Structure 1
Amino acid sequence: MKIEIWSDVACPWCYIGKRRFEAALAEFPHRDSVEVQWRSYQLDPTLPEHYDGTELDYLSTRKGMAPEQVSQMFDHVAAQAKGEGLNYSFDDVVVANSFTAHRLIHLAAAHGRQDAAKERLLSDHFEHGKDIGNQVYLTSLGHDLGLDAGELAELFTTDKYADDVHHDFDEARALGISGVPFFVIDRQFGLSGAQPTETFTQALNQAWQENHALVPVGSANAEACGPDGCDV
């Protein structure tokens, strides 16, 4: 079973959804047969590399919402995150373009470190106030993941993996994805948003059953035994 997850490292619900999905996957009997692939998505590709303002300033301007309303939204999201063991600090969030961070995730994927990269970026952005658009930070993170220094340098001197990121964007549009997180199971089942863990559990079980159902072949009248005895 393959599960593709479109998300942005600048999306607070994406981290919450990641935790809820992971909780369901941990209890899934066939989890060793599941491949998870993180796919890139940008909520705001127009963001500059660095934004001169707070997350509250940015969302107030972008959404046209009153600052008090944005603060209430932050409180709600932070409470939901706390329920998943996450400690969001919106006052410390650094607003930055996530495109290069997505390229780093693709580089990490080439070395089997995709999930670790995704986890660190989300945690560092929402819990630790790191600048996900900063070259020094991204290079340090790459080193922590054990990635090659030369390949990390290429992220800032070339457009390596940019096509892969854009391909993910194109795939999202083709599938009609307009918000994240979005979970696609075997290109048959789609779940939008940070669903409850129970919903992920139900989806995993349903997808597995439908894709591994027995298909009857041969004659239905062949001799067999049942609770009432055997055919003679």
Structure 2
Amino acid sequence: MKIEVWSDFVCPFCYIGKRRLEKALDHFEQSNEVTIEYKSYQLDPNAKHIPGKNFYDTFSELKGMPLDQVKNMNQQVKEQASEIGLDYNFDDMKYSNTFDAHRVAKLATKQNKGKEITERFLHAYFTESELLSDHQTLIRLAEEVGLTPSEVEEVLNTEKFTNRVNEDIDIARQIGVQGVPFFVFNEKYAVSGAQPEEVFHEVLTKVWEEEKQNPVLKTIHTGNSKTSFCTDEDCGGE
């Protein structure tokens, strides 16, 4: 089974959804026959870090939301993350443009380290307050998962993997992705949002049983369960 995951490194629900899927796979008997491929997506292609300006102020201005509302919303997200063992540090978080990080991730994927770089970048942003648009930071983080600094530097100083990142983003538009995380199972079944662990397990089982059906992309209906995801406009739920 192949799972394609569209996500962004600065999307809080992408990290939560990733961890919930992983926990579901821990209890899925055929997990050793599942491969995960991470696809690029940018929530804010125009994102820019402004030194001295904290995350709350930046987000408040971008979304036109009162500062108290922003802090309350992020506190709720922090609590959701904590429930599955993730520690979000919104107080020191640095608003980052992720395009170059996605290009480095493509290099990592080429070297069979896509899973490792995705986890490293997410943890670096949400827990360690790293600036993911800083080239030296990207080189250091990539080296930690086994990439050669000179290769990463070459990517960052050229246009390498730009087309690959843009291709992922274009495909997302074509298949109707309106928010991330967005999961596609065997190029037939789609699940949107950071679904609960039990929902992911249900979907894994369903897809495994029906994998030989017509290869048409279908949305898995998850009943009344709430989900959370990020769009280009906001992070929320339904």
Moved more, 139-148 or 17-26: 139-148
1:92-117 Cα shifts (integer Å, max 9, x gaps)? 10111000111111111011111110
Residue in 1 that maps onto 2:90 = 90
Verify: 1:57 aligned to 2:20, yes or no. Answer: no
Residue in 2 that maps onto 1:25 = 25
1:158-217 Cα shifts (integer Å, max 9, x gaps)? 01011110000001001100110011101111111110000000000000001158xxxx
How big is the shift at 1:144?
Answer: 1.1
Q: CA RMSD in A?
A: 1.1
Residue in 2 that maps onto 1:67 = 67
Length-normalised TM-score, structure 1:
0.89
Q: Radius of gyration: which is bigger?
A: 1
The letter of the residue matching 2:91 is D
How many corresponding residue pairs? 212
Residue in 2 that maps onto 1:113 = 113
| Equivalent residue runs for 1:163-182 within 5 Å | 163-182=163-182
Does the Cα contact within 8 Å between 1:81 and 1:88 map onto a contact in 2?
Answer: yes
How far apart, CA to CA, are the structure 2 residues paired with 1:123 and 1:45?
Answer: 21
In structure 2, the gaps of 5 or more residues are 214-238
What's the % identity of the aligned pairs?
Answer: 41
How far apart, CA to CA, are the structure 1 residues paired with 2:102 and 2:156?
Answer: 13
How far apart, CA to CA, are the structure 2 residues paired with 1:57 and 1:19?
Answer: 28
Length-normalised TM-score, structure 2:
0.87
Residue in 1 that maps onto 2:147 = 147
Residue in 2 that maps onto 1:38 = 38
Moved more, 155-164 or 36-45: 155-164
How big is the shift at 1:132?
Answer: 0.7
How big is the shift at 1:20?
Answer: 0.3
How big is the shift at 1:156?
Answer: 2.1
1:129-177 Cα shifts (integer Å, max 9, x gaps)? 1111111111111211211232111122101011110000001001100
Q: Matched residue of 1:91: which SS?
A: coil
Does the Cα contact within 8 Å between 1:51 and 1:96 map onto a contact in 2?
Answer: no
How far apart, CA to CA, are the structure 1 residues paired with 2:211 and 2:142?
Answer: 37
How far apart, CA to CA, are the structure 2 residues paired with 1:76 and 1:149?
Answer: 37
The letter of the residue matching 2:108 is A
The letter of the residue matching 2:174 is A
Moved more, 149-158 or 203-212: 149-158
Does the Cα contact within 8 Å between 2:6 and 2:181 map onto a contact in 1?
Answer: yes
Verify: 1:77 aligned to 2:61, yes or no. Answer: no
How far apart, CA to CA, are the structure 2 residues paired with 1:24 and 1:212?
Answer: 22
1:13-53 Cα shifts (integer Å, max 9, x gaps)? 111101100000111111111110000000000113x3342
How far apart, CA to CA, are the structure 2 residues paired with 1:158 and 1:81?
Answer: 36
Does the Cα contact within 8 Å between 2:104 and 2:156 map onto a contact in 1?
Answer: no
